[in-house]
Chains A and B, each alone.
Chain A
Amino acid sequence: MKNIDPDNVRVILATDCGSTTTKAILIQKLDGVYRQTHRGEAPSTVEAPFADVTMGVVNAVTEVSELAGRRLIDDRGRIIQPAGGDEGCDIYISTSSAGGGLQMLVAGVVRQMTGESAKRAALGAGAIVMDVIASNDKRRPHDQIQRIRQLRPDMILISGGTDGGTTTHVVQIAELIAPAKPQPRFGRAYRMPIIYAGNKDAVSMIEGVFDETVDLSIAPNLRPVLERENLGPARDKIHDLFLEHVMAHAPGYDKLMGWVDAPIMPTPAAVGSILSTIAEQQAINAVGVDIGGATTDVFSVFDGTFNRTVSANLGMSYSISNVCTEAGMPNILRWVHFDMDERELRNRVKNKMIRPTTIPQTLEALIFEQAVAREALRLAYVQHKEFATTLKGVQQQRTVGDTFSQLSSGQTIVDNMKLDLLVGSGGVLSHAPRMHQTAMMLIDAFQPEGVTTLAKDSIFMMPHLGVLAQVHPKAAMEVFEKDCLIYLGTCVAAKGVGRPQRTCFEYVIRGETIEESGALAFGEIKLLPLGLGETATITAEPARGFDLGAGPGRRIERKVKGGTVGLILDARGRPLQLPADREICKRTIEEWVTSLDLYPTMVVAA
């Protein structure tokens, strides 16, 4: 990393090289504050016939340059540094997910323990985990070897055993991987990087198992004792090897690595970095989601613990058909308030899959896509909750008081009642014609409880800011606060289930621009105006059996933030249950659509 004097930084250029698009943003210091001023994008050029990532970078930066009226690329096609007059930048940074990102195979002894710890380390480092090999994964060793042979990972992480514990099982896992000789994706000259982060007593034995055809690195055990994970060193090692091996073999990255002022980060790792920083600085619990064409990434920070999951086949174009398969068409259609022909819909879904860049032209098509998005997000969040747990396999001491508590280790740490900030990103959320639609998709899919602020990262700036936080934290924070998030508003939702038309909660809202009071019956949802930058205080009293954050039936008083949508009072209950009868369900959804003013009036053939 270059030595940079933060006080002298005026202009920052950041790029994010994706599989299809390379995005560039320009950050400038204006009146002493860092602001994101311009953005540009161009098709990525990682694949043939270009096979040089820097061409896409130069094109995206050129667009920024034209918009900003600032020369950023010199005659040799290189980024001008440092800034002087009307040209150049002081810092240039980049993230990358091109070529499908970092793909890893992980292995552990017990799937639910070291296997999961290894998976967490890899996901946290921004990787896509292709498979988890473990002694108890119910596959015969022969099948495990076959699987390893089929995969083409960029890197392998092996974990297993606590320090000082038995060495046999982890060596056994290594003995499966060594003869399988997994082939890397990039070139035959590439030596497969393997990281060993297991029982330290087995290091010499592991070294004896692998020959010179692999590049073996040793990291401290990521589960030194059952009660504690130590994922940091393994994650750092993954980042180092990502740069040394994977990036160095991707076309044009050697050149790009010479241009940047901080190491190139995998895009999801950068998002994780900024979300963790924000959660820590503001002492909040946050969830971020990025729904793409092929995958959906969910990031969460609860009580300081960061987790990330990638739902590899939940997405809105390449994977849209898979969402319909996994959720089932009836589950998707329950969000649609009119009838649609299922056979016709199946064909439409497949046509979107094979021509992924098309956009909905009719309102009917938009409503259907947003219904698919709700299910994709819901499924991704379910997977995230199942993965973000307390450590499994930890012995628990129980007292007499715990006699009736059946909580075991491995409970999810995701608690919607404790969630303070929910951030959505990705085409279907960012480009929804009305922000009300974005807010409603987030609420329906994630079902936040209590008081939760909703926001969107409209141009997916979080990756850029994640890397920037490593070199210039002040600039990263200022831009995050002012330009990155667009606040949609706040959702106040009661947990619990009641009978229709019975009161769910009563409320009084007071603020400079709002003075409202009333009651909501179970099943209702209401939108109140509270604009961007405005705040108000809500005092709400839930009925018996409902909880707004202070416990069932207990009053809350909270300050709420306004936004482009406003304040949403949600008395539909949690968990959110839609009527099983299709006709009643259609009417219910129509009422919600009307309450939130989601869509312009439409005429749909019955």
Chain B
Amino acid sequence: MATAYTPGLKVTNRITHRCRRVLPIPGDVLVGVGDTVNARDVVAQTLMPGDITPVNIANILALPPADVPECMLKSKGDPLEIGEPLARTKGIFGLFKKDCRSKVAGTVESISPVTGQVMIRGEPDPVQVQAYVTGNVIEVIANEGCVIEAEVSFVQGIFGIGGEVFGRIVGACSSHDQELTADLIKPQMKDCIIIGGARMTDQAIRRARDIGAAAVVSGGLDDEDLRDFLGYDLGVAITGSEDLGLTVIITEGFGDIAMAKRTFNLLASREGDDASVNGATQIRAGVMRPEIIIPLSEKEKAREPESSHPDSELKLGRPVRIIRDPHFGLIGEVSDLPAEPQVLESGSKARVLEVKFDSGETVTIPRANVELIEG
């Protein structure tokens, strides 16, 4: 039977992490198996074919399309500079000739006698892929890229905006439930990954951007503040390509919500270390969550990993987070798993479980509305 609960987000102080770094089109791979790479190193590069600019010579020179090829001053494959004549009419008795000059630089890609259209391909754009994570190359994918492996601390967020950035971890809040406000963000946090606690305010995000921080991570965020920062209302959760000068990650959800204690403690324990952060989120088939990756030092690698829950089964005693109102954001442990579906207040019938909070209070929740806290 399909699992009726949501697998949780990964938060672990130690994991062997692999990332695949590939080019969008074939190119050169600059590293070999066994190489040690730094997050900012370029591991593969290529030249992306330049932009295409169509020029309708027949229209510009008022010629029948079929006459265009013989009026061309440039042939297919010829390079071209801005302002250079591309085609010239024959004129009348060799006089009154009219030129068509190119408005772009590039190479003539095709000349059509059917439409009288000439395609000019612009200069190729270099595309580079960085390692993103400091680690070792364990596989080279010929002409495409490589796979990098590293021992890291790994934190998955629930939602983010902005792409890949690197920086030093720096704490701004003293506890997991402290709101991240603008006054907590200092100029010395420039280029850093700022760790907050509970909800981050609109002013805090703007302040982080203004001082030149690489990323800001906190428990929650108001949707209205997200809309104001983005400049538009986000319709679907497919992000990562925003160019806002700051990557923003929330670990728990929207609204007034504190960062899970475990996540906060892990990030706080890595203060001062370099991390790779990506806000890209895709909540569709092939789900992608934002991430904070902190490579381990040799000394840390020697340490025992913290205990974790290796299985993803819903069992008595498993810590879970409630992910929908009326108890949204609360964390407790599974205290009962009734087999029979129950009728909810909404009138729907669904399989439920009982969650016990630290206070001793218990609540009944649909299984679909909890997620496992994964280690």
Contact = CB atoms under 8 A, between A and B. Distances in A.
Interface of A: 19-21, 41-43, 46-47, 63, 98-100, 141-142, 145-146, 167-168, 171-172, 175-176, 178-181, 183, 188, 205, 208-209, 294, 313, 318-319, 321-322, 325-326, 343-344, 346-363, 365-366, 431, 433-434, 599-600
10 contacts: A47-B286, A168-B65, A168-B115, A175-B119, A176-B54, A346-B254, A350-B223, A350-B254, A353-B237, A360-B348
A349 B326 contact: no
Given A313-B235, A322-B235, A358 B49 contact: no
Contact of B222 (A20, A176, A343, A361): A343
Nearest to B329: A351
B65 A358 contact: no
Contacts of A172: 115, 117
Contact of A363 (B53, B347, B371): B347
A98 B109 CA distance: 38
Contacts of B344: 359-362
A126 to B, nearest CB: 17
A429 B306 CA distance: 46
A47 B326 CA distance: 33
A547 to B, nearest CB: 36
B345 A343 contact: no
Given A145-B54, A175-B54, A363-B346, A351 B326 contact: no
A358 B53 CA distance: 48
A167 B66 CA distance: 13
- The 3 lowest CB-CB distance pairs between A and B, nearest first, are A322-B235, A433-B347, A366-B346
Given A355-B158, A362-B326, A20 B3 contact: no
B346 A313 contact: no
A321 B233 CA distance: 8
Contacts of B6: 355, 357-358
Contact of A42 (B2, B119, B366): B2
B253 A146 contact: no
Interface in B88-129: 109-110, 112, 114-115, 117, 119, 121
A348 B325 contact: yes
Contacts, number: 175
Contacts of A180: 52
Given A347-B223, A431-B348, A322 B236 contact: yes
Contacts of B159: 350, 354
B266 interface: no
Given A179-B109, A351-B255, A366-B347, A319 B3 contact: no
B224 interface: yes
Contact of A321 (B117, B235, B324): B235
A600 B347 contact: yes
A264 to B, nearest CB: 18
B283 A599 contact: no
A171 B114 contact: yes
Interface in B213-265: 222-224, 226, 233-237, 253-255
B54 A319 contact: no
B284 to A, nearest CB: 6
Interface in B325-369: 325-326, 328, 344-350, 365-366, 368-369
A351 B323 contact: yes
Contact of B346 (A41, A319, A362): A362
Contacts of A46: 285
A62 to B, nearest CB: 11
B302 interface: no
Contacts of B222: 343, 346-347
Nearest to B121: A179
A141 B283 CA distance: 33
Contact of A355 (B25, B253, B350): B253
Given A353-B237, A362-B346, 13 more contacts: A42-B2, A47-B286, A146-B51, A175-B54, A179-B121, A180-B52, A318-B237, A348-B255, A359-B348, A360-B346, A361-B325, A363-B347, A365-B346
B224 A318 contact: no
Given A99-B285, A350-B223, A363-B345, A358 B235 contact: no
Contact of B254 (A98, A209, A318, A347): A347
Contacts of A431: 348
Contacts of A344: 255
B51 A365 contact: no
A205 B116 CA distance: 13
A346 B237 CA distance: 14
A318 B285 CA distance: 10
B147 to A, nearest CB: 14
Given A41-B2, A179-B121, A319-B236, A358 B54 contact: no
A313 B234 CA distance: 12
Contacts of A41: 2
Looking at chain B, what size class is its interface with the partner chain?
35 or more
A43 B2 contact: yes
B115 A325 contact: no
Nearest to A145: B52
Contacts of A181: 49
Contacts of A433: 346-349
A176 B55 CA distance: 11
Contacts of A146: 51
Given A294-B284, A361-B366, A349 B235 contact: no
A350 B326 CA distance: 15
Contacts of A318: 236-237, 283-284
A325 B233 contact: yes
Among B1, B286, B324, the one with the most A-chain Cβ atoms within 10 Å of its Cβ is B324
B69 interface: no
A582 B255 CA distance: 26
Nearest to A433: B347
Contacts of A600: 347
A51 to B, nearest CB: 11
B328 A351 contact: yes
Contacts of B254: 346-348, 350-351, 354
Interface string B203-221: 0000000000000000000
Contacts of B85: none
Among B54, B158, B326, B350, the one with the most A-chain Cβ atoms within 10 Å of its Cβ is B54
B79 interface: no
A321 B234 contact: yes
Given A47-B286, A346-B224, A353-B237, A175 B115 contact: yes
A53 to B, nearest CB: 12
A431 B349 CA distance: 9
A142 B52 contact: yes
A179 B253 CA distance: 44
B51 A183 contact: no
A365 B284 contact: no
B369 A359 contact: yes
Interface in B39-93: 49, 51-54, 65
Given A319-B236, A354-B237, A142 B54 contact: yes
Contacts of B328: 351
B249 to A, nearest CB: 12
Contacts of A145: 51-52, 54
A354 B114 contact: no
Given A99-B285, A347-B223, A347-B254, A599 B347 contact: yes
A70 to B, nearest CB: 19
Contacts of A42: 1-2
Given A181-B49, A188-B26, A433-B346, A361 B236 contact: no
Contact of B285 (A100, A175, A366): A100
Contacts of B286: 47
Contact of A175 (B110, B121, B348): B110
Contacts of A142: 51-54
A355 B324 contact: yes
Contacts of A347: 222-223, 253-255
Interface string B133-153: 000000000000000000000
A100 B324 CA distance: 27
B236 A313 contact: yes
